[in-house]
Structure 1
Amino acid sequence: MMQGTEYGDDNLKTAMTRELRERLVEAQKEGRPLRVYCGFDPRTADLHLGHTVPMRKMRQFQELGHDVVFLVGNFTSLIGDPSDKDVLRPQLTAEQVAENARTYAEQAYRILEKDKTRIAFNAEWLSKLTFEDLIKLSSNFTIQQFLTRENFRKRWDKGDALYMHELFYSIMQGYDAYALKADVQIGGTDQLFNIVTAARKIMTYLDAKPNIAIILGILPGTDGTVKMSKSLGNHIPILTGPEDMYGKVMSIPDAAMPQYSRLVTRWTPDVIHAMESALKEGTLHPRDAKMKLAWEITSAFYSDEAANDAQEAFVRLFQKGDVPEEMAEFGLDAAMPLADLLVATGMAESKSQARRLIDQKGVKLDGEVLTDARAAVPHAGVLQVGKRNYVRIIEK
C-alpha cells in the first residue's frame, strides 16, 4: 500500500504508515472495509498516464477489498487547484466542467473495477455550505500557513497577485474528506498541504477521525524531467492506441524507469526490486528493461495480445529501421514554413513546440534532418517527427 509514496519527511511517512496499519486493524474488528478516495478536477476532457497514478493505487485498495470512491471535483473545478501552479489558474464555467466530467468516469474504468467503484460529485455538499460554514472552517487556518507553500511564496515574492478564492481550495478539499467519511485520501506530492494539513485539520475540527494520507510521487513526462502535462507535449494519453502508448513509453529516458515502474504498473515491490538489481548488476540491458515496462503498461490498458502486437510493431519499425507502409498524407503547400507544417499535420500542438522539436533535431524528411523552422519544406516525401510519428507529404 505504501509503494510509490513520497512525503519528503521520514517522520511523516512513519506516522502515516503506523496510522494506516492501526486503521486496518480497527476496521477489521468493526467488520468493514476502509473508505478510500481520490479527487479529480475535470479541467480537461482527456486523462493521461500521470492522472492514472492515484487510480492505480485505488485499484490496489480495491483488490484488497476496500471501498473506493472516485470523486469528480465538479465544484472545486470552478476555482482550480493552485497546488502545482505559480500563476493564477483560469476559472472554468459550470458548463465547461460538466462537459469534461462527462468522460472522466468511463476513462477511469480502464483501471478501476466498475462494479466496485463509487462515483461522487463534490458539488453535492460544497454547493450547500453557507457563508457562516466557510467562516468557521477558515478559522482553522492562518495566512502564514498558506504562504509557506512554495507556489504561493513565489508569487508573493514576485509581487504577483494572490486571490482569496485560491485559499478556499484547500478548505473545500478538506471538507470533501469529511463529507465522504474517508479513512484514506490519495494524492500526489503537490497535494501534501491539502491532504495532510487541511483535510486532517478540518476533519478533527468537525469531530471526525482524520484521514490517512497516501502521498504519491509525481510522474514525469516523456522527457523524464518535468511533470507530465498535455500543455507541454510530454504526455501519454490513455485514450491513444496501443502502438503509440508502447512507443511513447519506450521514448522515456532510462533514469525515469524506476518512477514509471512504481507509479503506473501492476508490478509488486519484489518484481521491481529484481529488475532494478538486474540493471545494476548488468545482467539486464536497459533497452530490454524498458521493453518489459512498455509491454506491462500497454497490457494494463489494453490486453496481452495488444501489447504483443505493439511490441512487434515497435521492433519492426524502430529496431529494424522500417518505415510504416500506411501513414496519413498531407498536401504540400510550397510556401508553408516547416513549423507551420508540423502544426497543420498535427505533429506539433503549437509553433513553439514545433520549433523545439526542430531545434532538438527531431524532424526529418526522407531521413534527412531539417533545421530551419522558417524555411519551406524542400520537397515531398516522408516527414518524421521523433521516433514514431510519420506523415507522407505529397504535392498538391
Structure 2
Amino acid sequence: MGFDPSRPDIHLGHVVGLRKLRQLQDLGHQLILIVGDWTAQIGDPSGRSATRPMLTHEEVMENAQSYLRQFFKVVDRDRAQVVYQSEWFGKFSLADVIGLTGRFTVAQFLERDDFAKRFAEHRPIAITELLYPLLQAYDSVAIQSDVEFGGTDQMFNLLVGRELQEMMGQRAQQCFLMPILVGTDGVQKMSKSLDNYVGVEEAPDDMFGKIMSLPDEFIVSYFEYLTDAPVEGQTVNPMDLKKRLAEEITEVFHDQQAAAAARDRFERVVQQRSLPDDMPVVSLSTVSGPRWSNALVSAGLVSSVSDGKRMINQGAVELFPPSGQSLKITEDGRFEAPEPGTAVKVGRRRFASFQE
C-alpha cells in the first residue's frame, strides 16, 4: 500500500486500509509500505476538481516521518518493510520516463472520471497529474506486488499497475479496494481540508467528542470499518451505541483509562452541561487586545482572531460567572474583564477559567 505524505498527519479514513493490512500481517503476509516521496510532490488527482500545488522534497520527507510514527499505531512495525519511491525513481533518466509514458495513451487516462470531468469543463489538467497514475503503477513493478490496497477512488491507479506489470512480464497484482470513510459531517469523505476528520494523534477528549458528532446513520459503518467489536441489535439506543463506538476507537489510539475518562468528561460537560474540573486557568492580566476575539486567542481557545470572530458570530462562546446566569457572547464587542472565576466555553469542548 502506498501513502503520499502530502500532510503531516493521518486520520481515521486512512486507518480503514491500515487495519486491513494489519489483519494480513497477522495471517503471515509480508507488508510493504511505500512512501510516495516522489508522487507526493505531484499530489494524487483522484477525486479532485483542480490542480493542487506541488510540495518540495524536504516538506514531503518531514511529513513522512510523522506519517510513519502514526502508521505504526495500527500496523506492526516489526513485520513491515518501509521503502521509498526514490529508491527506484532516483535512478530514472528522461529515457526511462519517456519509455513509461509510451505504454499508455492520453485517451486512456482521460477515461478516468476526475480527468474526464475537468477536460469536459475546460479546466486545467497538469502534465504532472497525468504522470501520477504511471508513477504509482511503477511502484507495483518495482516491488513485484502481489496485492495492492487502495480506496475505491484509487481503482483507476491500481488497474494501471496491473496492466503495467503484465506489460513488463510480471504476474498482474490483485487489487483490494477499501471503502471510503464518510467524515463527521456525514456528507463528504473524511478530509482535513474539509475539517470533518478525526486525527489519530488527537487528544482523547477531542477524539471522543468528534466521534460523538457523527450522524447516527453512520455508526454501524464506523464499527465495521474501524473496530473489531460486534454491533448490537437495532433496539440499542443510538446514543449508547455511539458512546461505545467513541470509547472503542479512543482506546485503540490511547488506552482504556483515557477512553473511559473521555467518556465521563463528555457525559458531564456536554450532556449534563457541567463545567470540567480541570480547566486551564488564564490570568486576566495576560489578555491582550481590545475585543473578545483577542481575549479568546490570549486564552488559547481559538487559533486566530478570525476564528474567534467566527465562533462568536455562531453563538458558540458562552460565559459562566461564578455568581450568575450563563451568558452567550454574540458580538465581537469590547473586552471587559469578567468576574474572576468566570469560565468561558468555546464550541462544545474548549474551556478556560479567567482568574486575577
Q: Tell me, in whole angstroms, the C-alpha distance in 1 between the residues paired with 2:335 and 2:179.
A: 42
The equivalences for 1:290-301 within 5 A come to 290-301=242-253
| Counterpart AA for 1:297 | I
| Counterpart AA for 2:185 | D
Q: Tell me, in whole angstroms, the C-alpha distance in 2 between the residues paired with 1:368 and 1:247.
A: 23
Partner of 2:93: 130
Alignment counterpart, residue 148 of structure 1, candidates 93, 103, 111? 111
**Match of 1:102, SS?**
helix
Partner of 1:286: 238
RMSD, aligned α-carbons: 2.5
Q: Tell me the percent identity.
A: 37
**Match of 2:177, SS?**
strand
Residue 393 of structure 1: how far off its partner (Å): 4.7
Q: Tell me, in whole angstroms, the C-alpha distance in 1 between the residues paired with 2:333 and 2:196.
A: 26
Partner of 2:6: 43
Alignment counterpart, residue 139 of structure 2, candidates 168, 176, 181? 176
Partner of 1:222: 184
Residue 285 of structure 1: how far off its partner (Å): 0.2
| Counterpart AA for 1:312 | D
- Relative contact order higher in (CA < 8 Å, ≥ 6 apart): 1
Unmatched 5+ stretches in structure 2: 321-325
Q: Tell me, in whole angstroms, the C-alpha distance in 2 between the residues paired with 1:343 and 1:159.
A: 43
Residue 125 of structure 1: how far off its partner (Å): 0.9
Pair 1:55 & 2:18 matched: yes
**Match of 1:326, SS?**
coil
Q: Tell me, in whole angstroms, the C-alpha distance in 2 between the residues paired with 1:376 and 1:146.
A: 57
The verdict on how the C-alpha distance between 1:376 and 1:84 changes in structure 2, with shifts beyond 3 A counting, is: farther
Partner of 1:191: 154
Residue 189 of structure 1: how far off its partner (Å): 2.0
Partner of 1:384: 345
Residue 148 of structure 1: how far off its partner (Å): 2.9
Alignment counterpart, residue 109 of structure 1, candidates 62, 72, 91? 72
Unmatched 5+ stretches in structure 1: 1-37
Pair 1:305 & 2:257 matched: yes
Pair 1:139 & 2:93 matched: no
Residue 62 of structure 1: how far off its partner (Å): 1.1
The verdict on how the C-alpha distance between 1:342 and 1:69 changes in structure 2, with shifts beyond 3 A counting, is: farther
**Match of 2:290, SS?**
coil
The verdict on how the C-alpha distance between 1:158 and 1:358 changes in structure 2, with shifts beyond 3 A counting, is: farther
Contact kept in structure 2, 1:332 and 1:394, CA below 8 Å: no
Residue 362 of structure 1: how far off its partner (Å): 3.4
Which stretch has the larger CA shift, 255-264 or 58-67?
255-264
Residue 303 of structure 1: how far off its partner (Å): 2.3
| Counterpart AA for 2:123 | D
**Match of 1:259, SS?**
helix
Contact kept in structure 1, 2:21 and 2:75, CA below 8 Å: yes
The equivalences for 1:198-347 within 5 A come to 198-267=160-229, 271-272=230-231, 275=232, 278-279=233-234, 283-330=235-282, 331-333=286-288, 335-336=290-291, 338=293, 347=301
Contact kept in structure 1, 2:45 and 2:129, CA below 8 Å: yes
